[in-house]
Structure 1
Amino acid sequence: MPFTPGGVELPETPVNKQALHRDDNGLYDVPPGFPRGFIEEETAKEVNELIYDEDEELSDSEDDQSQELTNQIQNFAFSQSDENSKYSSKELDNLLPDEMTFGRVQASDAEALPKAKEWAHVVDVNKAIPNFSELVPKPAKVFPFELDTFQKEAVYHLEQGDSVFVAAHTSAGKTVVAEYAIAMATRNMTKAIYTSPIKALSNQKFRDFKEVFDDVGILTGDVQINSEANCLIMTTEILRSMLYRGADVIRDVEFVIFDEVHYVNNQDRGVVWEEAIIMLPEHVKLILLSATVPNTYEFANWVGRTKQRDIYVISTPKRPVPLEHYLWAADAPYKIVDEHKKFLEPGYAQASNAVAPKPNVASNGRGGGRGGSDAGRGRGGARGRGGRGANRGGGNTQSYVPSYNGRQSNNNTFGKRAFLKLCSHLKAKNLLPAVIFVFSQKLCTQYAVSLSSIDYSTAKEKSEIHMFIDKAVSRLKKEDRNLPQIQMIRELLGRGIGIHHGGLLPIVKETIEILFAKSLVKVLFATETFAMGLNLPTRTVIFGSIRKHDGHSLRTLLPGEYTQMAGRAGRRGLDPTGTVMIMTSEPFPTASSLRELILGNPTKLHSQFRLTYNMILNLLRIEALRVEEMIKRSFSENANQVMLPEHQKTVKLNEQALSQLKRPPCMICDVDMDKVLPLIVRERELHSSIMDDISRTTIGRSMFTPGRVVVFKDERNTRAMGIVTKFDDRKRLNLLTFTKLTAKPDKKGDIPFYTGIEGFGKKHLSNYFSINLPFGVSIVPVSSVEVISTVRLNMDIPSLIRGHPEEVKKSVNYLKGVLNHQSELKELFIRGIRSPAILSKIHERDRLMLEIKHAKCIQCPTFVDSFLLDYKVFTIKQQIENLQQLMSSENMDLLPDYEQRIEVLKELNYIDEEQNVQLKGRVACEINTGFELIITELVLDNFLASYEPEEIVALLSVFLFPGNTKVEPTTITPQLDVGKAKIVEVVTKVLDVFEKHKVLVTQEEVEFLEKNRFGLMEVIYEWGRGMNFSEIMELTDVAEGTIVRVISRMDEVCRQVMAAARIIGDSTLYDKMEAAQEKIKRDIVFCASLYL
């Protein structure tokens, strides 16, 4: 049974209440699970007598002690009386409060109502802690250097038993906080769990912590080392799985360290962080480590509210090593942001001028012919006849340089040639080592290979590099040591050049990381994954581009992404500043876009919480937390939940106000006031909607031309009159408004429909018979307009706005004439509206007005007073109802999705009508790699029983391979073709059920049948049959790293299907999956990590 999640109050069960039942003597008399206890009369009598005797003895003893204490108090009082006499009674009275209240304090107004508790507390790190050694006299770990203030604050709060959220810049020293927590756990004989977003980071942290602590273990699915250690390193998915299973190890855990918390923004896996945080039991303290993000307080407050514990937010004010940002343009660097984060306009201007289009000398036909430097022969210049670049004997045969603005070639260089010049500059200016971020695996390799003429390594470094590579690959089989990728990387590394991306073999990536950490790799071409948590700082960071493809479209980097990657620049203690360079491309970036990219705020932490069938079934199975509670506690619902105390307070105040509002009975008003009120509300809603709709039409917009006089409701909900000066794009009117003379307007002005009954006539216009100057200015939404009048001032509106005396006088005289001679301000008839929807609303509004006019209560002399009181009661009730709706579980955004998924699970028999988890549901709980329903259907259909182990893993690969291959799957065996057809059938069936119940499906589910997900079946099949890796690579165009990743995850799927087979009692399937696991778990794919 899993632990109760921290911060969740579960109702006490009837069994527990019965088990804790006591008799009259305070003794437990009902054993747990029994309807009653056994009581024998004689025994009960003896017990009562013994209790009575003991009470007698205690009573006598207490009486003696009481008398002695009374005597002592009296003696003390007499001895003090002389000393107290020097104080006069007047002086004593002055010390007492003016009013004293005895008994329980009565709740009054907002003071007794619940207030929103702030769970997050921001720590001021600008104040030093001079007495740190006094605050932490016996530290769990002593560091060989002076701690920064933010580290001291974190250590102090950990010693106080608090949870902390440390948001620090890259290389600031967040790991110190993690190490101290691990040391505390070791001292306290408890456990600390360190979680990371990726397995590579877990492996690296295992190596780092092993150098500091003796007892360290790692759990990452395929690797389990020292699983009983005091410090356990694991991925967040493993922690979530342990929490759902109720693993015993959680009992001993004191700290859970969530590293790289900003990964919560990851669309696919961010939900795992939220699940784990919500499910952690109460006794676990949290340590959240993150890059700097704008909303650390908001996130920490959510964690604190969810866990019902205080979270101390500690942030670093600045980077330990400041950064300087440059533009690399026309083969030269131009500083655009200095170390003080100031954008340098002159630097940007110089870079822009350097790449500006130059007059093309060859454009008039000269300079062509044999041996011409760049131009082709005759017309067309550089891009004339003769193709791209030079003609026969032409000079530059490098990659094609695109033209500037499609016309003239600019002075910038691109592609491989640009990197040659850049790397030469880096070496000359002593700016190595450098990481060059290129957002394409293919381009990473191409650019690195293109630097064939560069060699950064000395003879000694070459020897060290090759010795390390030999040692690393010695754990591989002989045939795997000569794989093309390994040979290529060996040659590059020998010259101090490296590559780092997801397509590399894990052992190759780790070799490059370790050599880079030893400063033996001088230039590293890497994709974005290199910046994710790996502690590998460098002197210089270069962006090959500031645009990347995110899987959906090509877009500019977000400020947070840029900051995360640029943060690798600047090695603490080695470099005074870090250098960041942006290689310019076309179109040349604007100054504003660069300012936003470099100096803009990083991306906020946003919830990626979503419901999965595995989550729903696990929660229904364990019953430790309802699904609705999980949704309510998610970060996505944080804004609503934070407002709960405020909403409760408002409801309480409204209920108090409601109890004091009571209209005296009226024989006329009581007849139909209750019926008229809803009609009035509906009429006002329709009127606002009509005005809003009209403003979208050409005819409607023409009615709000400057000079038009309108009647509207102002911000105080009071009727007013004004002149339109402008109608903006946001459907708002800019108005010049009139100041009323009457201090107290007619009460009818507060009635929302009264103009529809009487018109805006003399009774209301009398307020404006004398117009005060100057005019007021208001900006109001179109929906607040009540009357569009026929009056339009044909005057110079700009002069009127500026308060030009002549125009103001002219307008005032004109309006006075209108107001004196018209008994009613006539409404402009809406002509030409042809929209059926608008006309329907107008007809309904007119019908309601007619019904309201004929109501009996309207005729009552006291109607206005009665209506205003009833209307106030109505609005308060409506507000209470709205707030209660906001506070209810029905208001949660994900609730409809949950209800739809529950219907899917019922239809497919995963749960029954009472939401009890059935056998299929228990099987699906074991599948947490995705597509749990489809895999469960295949298992329970006994579909896999007729296949051999290597065929089973080949078929299951479709749930792991994303389908990014151009190689079309061929017929491997007839049996596998039947299996493919069956998988397509099951997927189609399940997706049809999703569509039937309108379930939100992921992009991956939508594209399952469209993408080439069967493209790796042959590779996995042959690997299961024993083919070596070099032969495997000849079957596909998929990168080595991707193949290893799919096979590694297949090992996890095998374990999950084995667990499913155990649940359903299918020993044959269990044995086959065990055999399949043994067949794929071999050689280079499951080679031990260099970090372990």
Structure 2
Amino acid sequence: MSLSSPSTTGGLLSNIYAGSSSDSETSDYTTDDESEYTDDEDDDDESDISELPEDEPAPPPRPVKPSNGKIRVHWAKSDDDTDVTNFREELGPPAMEFPFELDDFQKRAVLRVSHGDSVFVAAHTSAGKTAVAEYAIANAIKQGGRAIYTSPIKALSNQKYREFTEKFDSVGVITGDVSINPLANVVIMTTEILRTMLYRKDESLANIKTVIFDEVHFVNDPDRGVVWEECIILMPPDVPMVMLSATVPNYREFADWVGRTKQRTVYTDKPYLLMDNKGVFNTAAYRKIYDEIRAAEAPAPNAKQAAGKGKGRGKGKGKGKGKGVHRGPAPKQPLTGESKIRLETQKLQGMIKALEADDKLPATVFVFSRVRCERYAMGMPHLDLLSGSAERSKVHVFLKESFSKLDETDRDLPQIQAVTDLALRGIGVHHGGLLPIVKEAVEILFSRGHIKVLFATETFAMGVNMPARSVIFSSIRKHDGSKFRYLLPTEYTQMSGRAGRRGLDSVGNVYVLAAEELPDLKALTTTMTSKHTPLQSQFKLTFQMLLQMAKLTHWKAEDLMSRSYLENARAMQLPTARRDLQRLKKRQGDLPKLECVLGEEDMHRYAKLELKSRHMASDLYGTLFNTDHKKVFCRGRLVMVWSLPDIKASSPAVILGSSPPSMSTSVVATVDVLVVLRKPVPGSSPAGDSGYTVRIKNLPVKSGLLLVTNHALPNGVDFSDAFGLAREMRRCEDAGQFDEPLELGKNLKQIQTEYFDTLIGVKDLTKAKMKSKCHRCHLRQEHFDLVVEEGQIEDDIEDLEFKIDDSSLYLAPARERMLRALVDLGELDKDTMQITLKGRAASELVLGDELTLTELLFRNEFGEADVPSCVALVCCFACDSGVSQMSHEAAEALLPPETVKLLEQAMETHGKVAEILTKERVETDWTEFDKQLCLGIAPLAYAWAKGVPFAELMTAEPIQSKEDEEVYYSLWKPGDKPLQEGAVVRSIQRCDELFRRLGKAAGVMGSTEVVEKVEKCREAIRRDIVFALSLYLEQDGQRQASKAVDEAGEKEGCPVEEVS
């Protein structure tokens, strides 16, 4: 059974675009009517930037205050009403033509790009985001400049390279192991490489007219999201950016942050619905399918099930004693293991045949398990989807040519043979465990239409531009590493968006397989229709970031921290905070000076005593009220109250009545009081020589009473005569009755014991105030108000200055701890905090555990070890998470003693680094820290460096080196979880990249010995299928590289790197 939902051209639900401009729009500002705010620090921004050395990137400009006295609040401006009817006329001569009519959102984005603005395009897969990126590239080339296209993964970079070489004449690509035509008009690279180039202000960034960031929603990635933020922050503000992202609900907030960071207006276009049946989940269809399933499972009306008697076995026909007690069908037991996979495979095969009959292939089947991907595909041996021998011959020839440069032993790998057999029947498999060259072969066959059904994990939906006519979910539940859960709406949309090929299909179909039972209705509705995951900052400080910042003169870590998306809320408040700070300082200067014949210091001391008294007895009075409020808070009780409107000093009052807490009236205990004042307040009445009176109803006991005295007005007082009450209270005040705290009687002994310290404190403070000259002064209230206002302004100024200062940054404490750790490690100078030689070496190690590796470098561990041992060690720092791990003890048992000793030294060094991090309280994920050094891969890496063929590494038999008689055992034995070839290749490739970085670090140290050792290690591992050139680069790369050499000859001093 399956659920089907149509979606137009890949399930397109929404498209968003945002463009940025340097224009100042008055509607984007909030007017400051009271005073004009100016920030003196902003006056010299331009001169600061112009004075920076050429070899160092300038920090982005600080937020600038417009001269019209308005504070910039929003940097994202809605552009919903932009009319694109006259698109052609407004665009003028286009930089490139498209073979299809652009959607309105694309037209708006293209117009912004043509004006030199930045754009943010948020739409899910197959919506047409790439068209905007392509136009931005063409526009940059038209202006005589260059463009950079970044992608999150190397595989996508390679694919984009092949795609762009068909549209642009001069294309280059830079990945960790390949550099083709790096000075081309458009260069494709990973975001990490762009970050490194920005930190170092690489000369190849010259004349860049636009930068395209693909998959910007990777900002949400906990490990790599920070890279996108770093690149956006470091990008020169005059370089337009094109940001491509999946659908996100907070696109305007993110665009606002980008605009604030780059100091440019960002235009946004809200999402609009294309076609999704009004976006309403079809509950009726779900109920119908549910009823059909239940009806099919129900027993026949007259079936006599389980009606047999006695002890007989089998079909209820036993003849023993007793009657059967079970009536009706037995409860359905959930399938497990092999039986479940067989059922799912059967259902999928039936669905695929139905789609073939309905002409709805090709289809992508998303499976959330690498093992299941292969089991489903291999479980359909009789399914043949190719059209005939001619198409089968094309597939055979392509695969033969693709694998022709591999060694014979590599061509005979079981994985290659299995994928080839599947492809010759129109079936493909795509997951991270496949060899890179195998994945690329499958992708190319799929793009050419020869793979009719592709079983893929969700990584296939990440950027790889391979739409299909239909998408099938084998399940909408997945294991996220810790638990099973339903797909998030963003995940579902990203994958379902693969349904529908632009320009070929008017509708894309999405199916959810329900092999055993229907998914939960609520969960299914949430997955399909709820809001997508918002963009959330994953900005974090790393030691590498701090080292890179330390190498620069005009950059500090605070520059990145304060401009990060993490600090977006703070950045929004900074202009207002600066304005408020200026106002407070002006108000502070305008305050009248306290002039008192008794002395200013006395009033300041008195004010401190008064303020300390507040809230001291709040809990005590609350408890008293709940215990005996009729006696303690009786009518006529003299009290001191505070927190009155327009009055900061405490004032004498008398209780007129009390109200216990009640759900119908008030949730807190309150009293009704008459207050006598020295000066009038709103609502007060004159009381002759006594001053003024004001009645306050429902004054909270806990927050309004400063002191409950031991006195009450005498019997016979007319409480309706406010004039007389005021005169009587003044008499009591002169007699000192408002200065005597309440004495608790014997019936309140328990409370007296509980609040003993509070009662003593109230008495002591009252006595201290009574001794002050200010206590009886008729100017006490006026002077007290002035002192309190001064103090409040000082506190507010201090708070605002802290908010504005970098010390208020969320990660400021973490930064201080990490800097201390770098000092302890000798990578920063203790006195000057300047980067040391050791720190400069560490800054080259942007991959792996730079702290431990730097320690090993400076101890010359690499210089003394042989090549295979060095490879074994470095590979431990570059191990892919997909490689099955053996224990350290088992790994060491397969290695020679000198290699084991080297690994033990690394473990010891790793532990010492951990001790320093613990000492300085650096927040560390110790699980991830331990994973930085994975000794389980060491035997495999050692064997590879000794020349053992890749095919033998993947076997479960003992393997022998070609160079000597040593025998090495593979990482797994029969019955163990097998190694995944793709994970092993990635580990060795990362090992090579890490060696390249180590060579740079050794060069900084001046150690030619280690530099030579590193090159020998790289030579030992860069071979065979592990470093087979990408199919996307093999033909096009040679053509581009050759052309680049010719072009370079015309440009004096223009370096061109060969294909590596």
Q: Same fold (TM over 0.5)?
A: yes
What SS does the corresponding residue of 1:961 show, helix, strand or coil? coil
Q: Which residue of 1 aligns with 2:605?
A: 675
What SS does the corresponding residue of 2:852 show, helix, strand or coil? helix
Match status 1:1051 vs 2:1007: no
| CA deviation after TM superposition for structure 1 residue 278, in Å | 1.7
Q: Which residue of 2 aligns with 1:879?
A: 796
- Partners of 1:170 and 1:564 within 8 A in 2: yes
Q: 1:118 aligns with which of 71, 74, 79?
A: 74
Aligned equivalents of 1:965, 1:228: Cα separation in 2 = 40
What SS does the corresponding residue of 1:287 show, helix, strand or coil? strand
* Distance verdict in 2 for CA 1:16–1:785, change over 3 Å: closer
Q: Which residue of 1 aligns with 2:1044?
A: none
Q: Which residue of 2 aligns with 1:444?
A: 373
1:437 partner amino acid: F
1:115 partner amino acid: I
| CA deviation after TM superposition for structure 1 residue 972, in Å | 1.4
Q: Which residue of 2 aligns with 1:455?
A: 384
Aligned equivalents of 1:227, 1:371: Cα separation in 2 = 75
Aligned equivalents of 2:802, 2:705: Cα separation in 1 = 30
Match status 1:857 vs 2:788: no
Aligned equivalents of 2:626, 2:545: Cα separation in 1 = 52
- Partners of 2:348 and 2:513 within 8 A in 1: no
Aligned equivalents of 1:580, 1:290: Cα separation in 2 = 22
| CA deviation after TM superposition for structure 1 residue 650, in Å | 1.6
| CA deviation after TM superposition for structure 1 residue 834, in Å | 13
Q: Which residue of 1 aligns with 2:719?
A: none
Match status 1:574 vs 2:491: no
State how 1:625-640 maps to structure 2 within 5 Å: 625-640=555-570
Superposed CA deviations along residues 916-968 of structure 1, whole A, max 9, x for unmatched, are: 21111111011000310111111110011122222211111111115652534
Q: 2:424 aligns with which of 481, 486, 494?
A: 494
* Distance verdict in 2 for CA 1:116–1:515, change over 3 Å: same
What SS does the corresponding residue of 1:1091 show, helix, strand or coil? helix
Aligned equivalents of 2:838, 2:317: Cα separation in 1 = 71
State how 1:304-703 maps to structure 2 within 5 Å: 304-314=259-269, 317-319=272-274, 322=275, 339-353=277-291, 364=306, 399=338, 415-459=344-388, 460-584=390-514, 589-662=519-592, 665-667=595-597, 670=600, 672-684=602-614
Aligned equivalents of 2:644, 2:979: Cα separation in 1 = 64
| CA deviation after TM superposition for structure 1 residue 447, in Å | 2.5
What SS does the corresponding residue of 1:602 show, helix, strand or coil? coil
Aligned equivalents of 1:276, 1:127: Cα separation in 2 = 30
Match status 1:978 vs 2:909: no
* Distance verdict in 2 for CA 1:848–1:200, change over 3 Å: farther
TM-score, normalised to structure 2, is: 0.75
What SS does the corresponding residue of 1:858 show, helix, strand or coil? coil
- Partners of 1:637 and 1:892 within 8 A in 2: yes
- Partners of 1:469 and 1:511 within 8 A in 2: yes
| CA deviation after TM superposition for structure 1 residue 239, in Å | 0.9
Q: Which residue of 2 aligns with 1:816?
A: none
Structure number with the bigger relative contact order (C-alpha 8 A, sep ≥ 6) is: 2
Match status 1:1032 vs 2:987: no
Equivalent pairs, count: 895
Q: Which residue of 1 aligns with 2:240?
A: 285
| CA deviation after TM superposition for structure 1 residue 1017, in Å | 1.1
Superposed CA deviations along residues 55-101 of structure 1, whole A, max 9, x for unmatched, are: xxxxxxxxxxxxxxxxxxxxxxxxxxxxxxxxxxxxxxxxxxxxxxx
| CA deviation after TM superposition for structure 1 residue 598, in Å | 1.9
* Distance verdict in 2 for CA 1:618–1:149, change over 3 Å: same
Q: Which residue of 2 aligns with 1:895?
A: 812
Q: Which residue of 2 aligns with 1:236?
A: 191
| CA deviation after TM superposition for structure 1 residue 340, in Å | 2.2
Q: Which residue of 2 aligns with 1:910?
A: 827
Task: Compare 709-718 and 204-213 and name the one that shifted more.
Answer: 709-718
Q: Which residue of 1 aligns with 2:225?
A: 270
What SS does the corresponding residue of 2:247 show, helix, strand or coil? coil
- Partners of 1:363 and 1:379 within 8 A in 2: no
- Partners of 1:257 and 1:287 within 8 A in 2: yes
Q: Which residue of 1 aligns with 2:3?
A: none
Q: Which residue of 1 aligns with 2:879?
A: 961
2:285 partner amino acid: G
Identity of aligned residues (%): 37
Gaps of 5+ in 1: 1-5, 20-108, 323-337, 391-395, 403-412, 728-732, 752-762, 772-777, 790-821
| CA deviation after TM superposition for structure 1 residue 725, in Å | 4.5
| CA deviation after TM superposition for structure 1 residue 380, in Å | 11
What SS does the corresponding residue of 1:272 show, helix, strand or coil? helix
Aligned equivalents of 1:570, 1:373: Cα separation in 2 = 53
Aligned equivalents of 1:842, 1:431: Cα separation in 2 = 84
| CA deviation after TM superposition for structure 1 residue 597, in Å | 2.2
Aligned equivalents of 1:515, 1:750: Cα separation in 2 = 85
* Distance verdict in 2 for CA 1:198–1:725, change over 3 Å: farther
* Distance verdict in 2 for CA 1:492–1:866, change over 3 Å: same
Q: 2:939 aligns with which of 1014, 1018, 1023?
A: 1018
State how 1:816-835 maps to structure 2 within 5 Å: none
- Partners of 1:498 and 1:521 within 8 A in 2: yes
What SS does the corresponding residue of 2:365 show, helix, strand or coil? strand
- Partners of 1:163 and 1:310 within 8 A in 2: no
| CA deviation after TM superposition for structure 1 residue 862, in Å | 3.7
State how 1:81-100 maps to structure 2 within 5 Å: none
Aligned equivalents of 2:219, 2:196: Cα separation in 1 = 17
- Partners of 1:158 and 1:164 within 8 A in 2: yes
What SS does the corresponding residue of 2:539 show, helix, strand or coil? coil
2:939 partner amino acid: E
Task: Compare 682-691 and 867-876 and name the one that shifted more.
Answer: 682-691
Aligned equivalents of 1:1084, 1:373: Cα separation in 2 = 62
Gaps of 5+ in 2: 1-21, 23-40, 54-64, 648-652, 683-691, 709-728, 733-737, 956-969, 972-977, 1034-1060
Task: Compare 718-727 and 958-967 and name the one that shifted more.
Answer: 718-727
| CA deviation after TM superposition for structure 1 residue 160, in Å | 1.8
What RMSD, in angstroms, separates the aligned Cα atoms of the two structures?
4.8
TM-score, normalised to structure 1, is: 0.73
Aligned equivalents of 1:158, 1:723: Cα separation in 2 = 68
State how 1:31-50 maps to structure 2 within 5 Å: none
What SS does the corresponding residue of 1:115 show, helix, strand or coil? strand
* Distance verdict in 2 for CA 1:826–1:1020, change over 3 Å: same
| CA deviation after TM superposition for structure 1 residue 415, in Å | 4.0
| CA deviation after TM superposition for structure 1 residue 12, in Å | 9.3
Aligned equivalents of 2:627, 2:1012: Cα separation in 1 = 79
* Distance verdict in 2 for CA 1:851–1:204, change over 3 Å: farther
- Partners of 1:258 and 1:288 within 8 A in 2: yes
1:983 partner amino acid: A
- Partners of 1:116 and 1:643 within 8 A in 2: no
* Distance verdict in 2 for CA 1:764–1:962, change over 3 Å: farther
Match status 1:1062 vs 2:1024: no
Aligned equivalents of 1:1081, 1:110: Cα separation in 2 = 57
Q: Which residue of 2 aligns with 1:948?
A: 866
What SS does the corresponding residue of 2:148 show, helix, strand or coil? strand
* Distance verdict in 2 for CA 1:527–1:853, change over 3 Å: farther
| CA deviation after TM superposition for structure 1 residue 232, in Å | 0.5
Aligned equivalents of 1:1046, 1:146: Cα separation in 2 = 45
2:817 partner amino acid: Q
- Partners of 1:197 and 1:260 within 8 A in 2: yes
What SS does the corresponding residue of 1:167 show, helix, strand or coil? strand
1:933 partner amino acid: L
Aligned equivalents of 1:421, 1:844: Cα separation in 2 = 83
What SS does the corresponding residue of 1:143 show, helix, strand or coil? coil
Q: 2:1023 aligns with which of 1051, 1070, 1082?
A: 1082
- Partners of 2:880 and 2:987 within 8 A in 1: no
Match status 1:1000 vs 2:956: no
Match status 1:185 vs 2:104: no
